Structures are given as structure tokens and as C-alpha cells.
Structure 1
Amino acid sequence: MSQHTTMRRRVDPRAERASRTILTGQRPRVLRQPVAAATNERRRDPRAIRDVALVQRQPRPRYDWARDAASAGTVAAVGHAIAAAPAIPLQVIAEPAYLVLAMLDRPGGEVSEHDRQVIAAARLLADGAIGGGGGGAVVTVSTGSGEVLAEAGSDRHVALPDGWADDYVPERRAAAASALMEALSPRHILFPDTPDGGDVARRIAAATGERLFAGVQSLGPDRATRQSAGGSLETGRRPTRLMTIAVDAFAPLDGVRHEARPLHLAAPLTAGEEVLPRLGGARRLAVDPDALSLSETDFILSAGNGVTDWQSFAELGEALGATRAGSRVVCDAGHLPRERQVGASGTVVSARCYLAFGIAGAPQHLQGITGVRNVIAVNTDLHAEMIKRADLSIVADAQEIMPALIRLIRERRHG
């Protein structure tokens, strides 16, 4: 029977004790674990870090310890580790089996929330969740470039002339959609169920003889449904070629990245435009933002208990073209009418942008802005709940920010 001898490194107890000794003298201090090797790290000044983190002196000091990372030169100074966000993989469909067109409104050149919902519905059709098979591609059609549509789920993009966004000529968009139907032979064409998108969809249905299924609110395997009679009835059928998507029926995609590759057609979409009938003097009417309901407007300027300069608040609302609103405290004080109250006990809003001045963020108020996509908060209290909810925060006095914004808007308009 053979024996195996294992060679072990001899331990020097004196050397190990010396590595753990951090205080010499009459009473040496010895640690349980050896001291880690020293790193060449810049010495931090605790007073400088405290000064950088100070955001408020009166009535009592307040500190934001996340602000001292830059002064410390390392994230470890504040005890927080910031992990890099993982890159979203690019999804490429080189040879799509079929195409799904998404005709977007893109009002004013900006991609609306409804446009993103239409792309999400088209993504369901292209990925094979409906009809089976998969391997389809979403082709977005709108003015402007398709770069911003890549994160919404667009695989290809057909850019309409930029001038089409300013003029209301539905016949022109309908002719372009008909030309795309002939050139690309898409399996489905989706439109936002809006006054403009629904108008174009009905014109195409009348010109091509295709059946239009309007106001789609849910999509399932081989089935599209919509509600009628005030929601008491539900109508369903197999998805048709032409469909309009109801607002808030589908959640916009998040955390995806597609190509949105420009798709160039052999024939221009403007061919034969000179023979199209045109409406004489068609234009969009200016609407007073304060005349709109809070549940219908896209841009809300809201005030809380921290606002005292109501003249500047009114001027800022006029300069921004925003609908004015307020918290319950403001409406109770009589600064704004009761129908302008935002919150669980007032109006639940779903605006595209919510600009809040001097609002602390009570739970009832935060419930009223749950559906808002972008929240901007201006408040002197860094730890206010509205600051935590906001996508962009300004820690300052509302009475200083409002006049500055008014001056900036007027300068840019004159410039």
C-alpha cells in the first residue's frame, strides 16, 4: 500500500502576527485577519465631501450624499456601487416572412404615446403572437427619421416628406398608404384610432374595398376584439388587413431595440400628387389650453403650496401653452377652480408631460399622476415625494424658476 505525501507551505507564526499588528508599543493591537495590501488611493477630505453634499442650510441642513461621488474621485466614497446598465441587444430581421405596416400620426413631428401603442400592436402581429409563424417585420410610416422608433419596435421605416406634417391633406396620406399596399403587400396595416388616423384608414378602406375593423382594444390568436354600447358588448372577429388601434389598448414596448432601417421604394410616394383634390384653407385651429379638460390635455402646468407668485404662474402657462392645474391645497385656497384639482379626489390625468411647481407629493396627488409619462418637479425640498417620482428634478424656489423660464421662452421666440 503506497502512501502519498502532500507538501504544505510552512507557516511562519511571527510573520503572520506581524502582518496583523496595526499598533505597536506597550499594548500592541492585533487583528484577526491580515491587513489587505494598501492601494494607491487619493486621500479624501471629509469636509469637502460634506460641503458638496450640502443642498440646504436653512432652516436645517440637508445633505444629498449621492452628490459627493465626483469630489471623492471614487464611488466607494459614498458606499454606493453603481452598476453599468446592460446593453440591450439589437434585434435584426434580415429576411422577414411578411410585413406589418404602422401608419403613425406623429403630430408636430413628435412620436405620441398612441403611436407607440400602435407599434406595440404591430409588434404582436409581426412576432407571430397572432396568426402563428412569426418572422414578420414592422414597417413604420411617418414624417421624420426612424431613429427614435427603433426603441419602440420598428424594423423598417418609410419616411414621408417633412412638409406633410404641417398641412392637413388626408388624401395625400391615403394615396401614399395605397401605394405602399401595392408595393409592399403587407399582411396588416394599423392606424391610430384618432381623427387623423381614422380618417386615412376609412379612405383607404373605401378606395380598396378592404374591410376595416376600427377601435381594436385587444388582440389574441386569430382574434381581434373591441367594445361597444358603452362597454356592455364585445365584438370579435379574425384580424382584418386594415385595423385602427384604440388609445391605451396596448402598452408601449420598453427595453427593446430594433433596426428601424430606412426602407427606400422604387417609386416615390409623391407621384401623382398634383391631381389630388385639396381642401381650401384647411388649418388647425388654436385652442385655449385652459379650456381643455385635464383628462384630455397633453401638457399640464401644476402648482402646489410652494407657489406664491400667481402672476408668473399664469404667464408661464400662457408661454408654454400648458393647461394649468393644482393640488388640493391650491384649489381649497381658491387660487384655481375645483375642476383643476389633480389627484385621487380630483382628476386622474395621463398627460404626456406634467410640470409641477412647489408640490410636495401627497399620496392622493401621486395617485392622480400615475399615468403621466414624463414628470418634471421644481421644489426646495430634495426629499419631497414629488422629487422622487419625477423624471427630472430642480431643487430650487419656484418663484425663481418661473420668471427665468418665461424670459428664456421669450428670448427663443424672438430669436
Structure 2
Amino acid sequence: MKRRDPFAERDARRRAGGTRPRFTIEAAPARGRRRRDPRAERAAETLRITPRPRLARGATGTAPVPADPEPAAAPRPRRIERPSHMILAVLDGEAGRPTGHDRQVLGAARLLAGAEGAVAVLGPFDPAGLGPLGADRLLPWAPPGDDPAAQAAQVAAALAFLAARHAVFPETPDGGDLARRVAALTGEALCSDIERLTATEACRPARGRRAEQRLAPPRLLAIQADCVAPWRGTAHETLVLDAPAPVPPAAIARVTPLPADPARVPLGEAAFVIAAGNGVSDFAAFRALAAALGATPGASRMVCDAGLMPRAAQVGASGTVLSATCYVAFGIAGAPQHLQGLTAAEHVIAVNTDLHAAMIERADLAIVADAQAVMPALLDLLRGRGRP
């Protein structure tokens, strides 16, 4: 084989003219192997598919498109055909929707039921929504109006029908009152104000909260909020029970609820709150939207400092800590002190032009838009549905 002469090869590729030497790559002599072209190789391996191209190493662009892997099948709900015992969960939720405290009640009932027991729910709830919360049975008896004596009689009838080992109530104004009425009606012991619960022990404060009482869980239990976590395990299949509803005693003929003015409801007690921040300049439209939605108006600290909203409307660590079911923030960036007031809010909706705002990150539903444009659009939509 002839010996290579790099200087001669370089001179053969040299271009004439110019002040600086230039060389032509195409004129290089063959050296026994083909020069790689990375761009051509990448183009040959690119699969022209949507929504964006993909690379298949070792393949060409005409190769068949590989099929996407099949998603993993969701775990099947657990079905308990013949439970060893039943636990009754009495919920507070209105319109068939469990509250956050109700989810904890179901978690406590699931804890008491164990692996072999079943949890039954009393009321007109959706079975599909109760399964992920740990419920196995649904007794779809409609509530007997606003008569507390009739409600207690209905719960007592459910206890007898299910032969339930325990009944768990939320320690709320309505749930606690119902639990005490059921205890008086059935003669069963009630353990109220429970702050810690296990399968074998219930703890509650005693002697003016200077001591702690520990006892085996009785048949009736009323638990405080945040003492038991909601059920996070495998979803259960909720079976609807067929049983004749008990006839409640006719003690109250008619009850007409008086709705409260949302603008006068304290922020700490409001279920639906909308708040304005620096992104809101038209406060007349903001108040009109709050009235049309039936929401309680709130505001950020900077808006209250500017005197645009009263100090009682301030949301945050230095204002009011909310326990609302839904909170809508218009033009609020989300300072740490403001976000501290939303720790107990169940659902948060944010309207902001900054995609990277802290409130957008905290929100369950984010609308990246100008609040001044969203508010009139919502008002027009509500007025088209016949709302003022």
C-alpha cells in the first residue's frame, strides 16, 4: 500500500485565491471508508408522526410507527360479598356530596371495619363516588326533612337493619346533635369529641381538656375533624341495599329555610368565597359577580390596605383563614401569607395572567387570563341563564 502524504492531500484540496488559505472537503481523496453524515442519519431515523417527530435508533423514516404501550389497567374495586360485621357512617354532606369531614368519617369507619368488615353509608349519595372513599354498602334512604327527631329515628332504624357494630358521626353542629339524639333514643353509649381513633381505642379530652380519656370504641362515635385520615387505599365496590324506608314521625309539618345574604356571612363561615387582588380594578363588576354567583367577597391584603375592600374581607394569615368549599382568586399572585389562609379550602380556582404565579400552582383549576376580561364574561354568561 502506498504511503500517505498528508501535505500532498492538503495541497490538492487547497482553493486558489484569497488572503487566507481555504480547503475543499469534497476534493478529499477516498480513504477506504465513507464519511459520516450525522444530519442525514438523524433524518433517516426520524419518524414523521404527530404530535411531534420521534427518533427510532437503527430504523429509517419509512419504518412502521411503533405502537404506544398500552396503559396499565386500573386496579379492580374490592368487593366484599359477605362481611363479618357492618360499620355505619352517617355523613353531613348536602345534595349527596360528602364534605371533607365526611371523608374522614369514612376513613374512621374503614379503620373500624378492618379487612373483613364492610362500611355502609346512609343517605342519597352516588355509589360511584363513595367507592374510592372506602364505602361497601349504600342505604339510599332520603333524609326525613329538617326534623331532628325523625333523622334520629331513621339512623336508629338503619342501625337495627344493618346490625351495625359501630356508627360513626362527624363532630359538627348537625352531626354531633344527631349523634346525641341517637344515643338518647337507643340507649347506647356515645363517645364524643374523639381526637384520636384506632381499631381498639378511642381518645377524647376530659376534665376541661386537662386530661385524656382512653376507652374501647363504643357503638356510637363522633369524631373531630382531622383526627383520622381519609381512605387512600384500594377503591371498594359500593352495593346499593334494597330496604323499605322507615316512616318518620310527623312532628314538624313544614320547614322553610331562610337563606343568608352571602355578603353578610363571615369569611370564616362562608362556603363559597371569591377574592380580588391587584389584578382587579373594576370593583363594581367584582361585587356584581359575587352577588350573581351567591359568593362571599374577599380580598388580598394589598387591596384592603388600599381601602378598596373592608379589612374584614382580608384573606390570609393576617386576616381570615378560610374553611370554604370553593375559593376563586381574581388577580391574586399568591403571597405566602395569603396562601396560609387557604390551607383548609377544598377547591381553589385562580384567574391570573402570570403562568408562574404561586396561586396558579396552588389552584386545582387555573385560568391564565386577565381577570378584568374574565369577570364581564362570567357576568354575561350568568345573565344569559336568568341570574341578576
| TM-score scaled by length of structure 1 | 0.75
Mapped partners of 2:27, 2:232: distance in 1 = 65
Mapped partners of 2:256, 2:334: distance in 1 = 40
Aligned partner of 2:191: which letter? Answer: F
The 5 A counterparts of 1:4-403 are 25-26=26-27, 29-30=35-36, 35=41, 38-42=45-49, 73-74=51-52, 87-127=74-114, 134-161=115-142, 164=143, 167-228=145-206, 231-254=209-232, 256-265=234-243, 268-270=244-246, 272-273=247-248, 276-403=249-376
Aligned partner of 1:208: which letter? Answer: T
Q: Structure 2 vs 1, CA of residues 288 and 227 (structure 1 numbering), >3 Å: closer, same or farther?
A: farther
Contact 2:48 2:54 in 1 (8 A): no
Mapped partners of 2:290, 2:159: distance in 1 = 44
3-state SS of 2:169 partner: strand
| 1:193-234 deviations in Å (ceiling 9; x for gaps) | 223322322222112111111122210342111235664432
3-state SS of 1:107 partner: coil
Aligned partner of 2:161: which letter? Answer: A
3-state SS of 1:308 partner: coil
For the pair shown, the structure with the greater C-alpha radius of gyration is: 2
Q: Structure 2 vs 1, CA of residues 337 and 87 (structure 1 numbering), >3 Å: closer, same or farther?
A: same
Q: Alpha-carbon deviation of 1:289? A: 2.3
Mapped partners of 1:356, 1:212: distance in 2 = 42
| 1:64-99 deviations in Å (ceiling 9; x for gaps) | xxxxxxxx514869xxx9996873442222221111
3-state SS of 1:154 partner: coil
Aligned partner of 2:311: which letter? Answer: R
**Percentage identity across aligned positions?**
45
Contact 1:146 1:159 in 2 (8 A): no
Contact 2:96 2:126 in 1 (8 A): no
Contact 1:105 1:142 in 2 (8 A): no
Mapped partners of 2:204, 2:377: distance in 1 = 48
Runs of 5+ unmatched residues, structure 2: 1-24, 29-33, 56-67
3-state SS of 1:108 partner: coil
3-state SS of 1:143 partner: coil
Q: Alpha-carbon deviation of 1:334? A: 0.8
Residue of structure 1 equivalent to 2:16: none
Runs of 5+ unmatched residues, structure 1: 1-23, 43-71, 128-133
Q: Across the two proteins, how many residue pairs are aligned to each other?
A: 346
Contact 1:216 1:224 in 2 (8 A): yes
3-state SS of 1:138 partner: strand
Q: CA RMSD in A?
A: 3.0
Contact 1:106 1:143 in 2 (8 A): no
Q: Alpha-carbon deviation of 1:301? A: 0.6
The 5 A counterparts of 1:398-409 are 398-409=371-382
| 1:337-390 deviations in Å (ceiling 9; x for gaps) | 223222223222232211000001122222221222211001112222211111
Aligned partner of 1:104: which letter? Answer: L
Which sits farther off after the overlay, 304-313 or 314-323?
314-323
Mapped partners of 2:288, 2:321: distance in 1 = 25
Mapped partners of 1:150, 1:103: distance in 2 = 15
3-state SS of 1:150 partner: helix
Mapped partners of 1:246, 1:283: distance in 2 = 30
Q: Structure 2 vs 1, CA of residues 323 and 249 (structure 1 numbering), >3 Å: closer, same or farther?
A: farther
Mapped partners of 1:400, 1:151: distance in 2 = 38
Residue of structure 2 equivalent to 1:6: none
Contact 2:47 2:53 in 1 (8 A): no
